[in-house]
């Protein structure tokens, strides 16, 4: 894939679930990048928007990965909500 063929999209994912997505030793994020053939960039500690994740790759893969990340976020946030209520 050539650089000009790459598509990037930013998506806001709650920064509290970034570590759950990344996983231990980066296993989770590695699996996602391999499954979707994309590059994921999470914000640094000093980022203006700590929720902003950038996905880069083939447009279809980026959009599928974005949907997957948003689904993971929903699952993690709902698990946290249930844990707090319980």
48-74 pLDDT, tens digit each: 999 999 999 999 999 999 999 999 999
3 pLDDT above the threshold of 70: no
Q: Read off the pTM.
A: 0.85
Give the span between the Cα atoms of 50 and 43, in whole angstroms: 6
What H or E segment, with its residue span, contains residue 25?
none
The count of residues in the chain is: 86
27-47 pLDDT, tens digit each: 999 999 999 999 999 998 888
Q: CB of 77 within 8 A of CB of 14? A: yes
Per-residue pLDDT band at 2 (split at 50, 70, 90): low
**CATH architecture group of domain 3-85:** 2-Layer Sandwich (3.30)
**Domain coordinates in residue numbering, the chain:** 3-85
């Amino acid at each position: 894939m050539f650089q000009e063929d790459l598509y990037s999209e930013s998506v806001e994912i709650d920064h509290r679930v970034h570590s759950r997505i990344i996983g231990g030793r980066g296993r989770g994020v590695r699996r996602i990048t391999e499954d979707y053939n994309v590059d994921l960039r999470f914000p640094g500690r000093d980022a203006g928007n700590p929720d902003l994740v950038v996905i880069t790759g083939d447009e279809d893969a980026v959009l599928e990965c974005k949907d997957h990340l948003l689904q993971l976020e929903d699952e993690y946030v709902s698990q946290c909500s249930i844990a707090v209520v319980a």
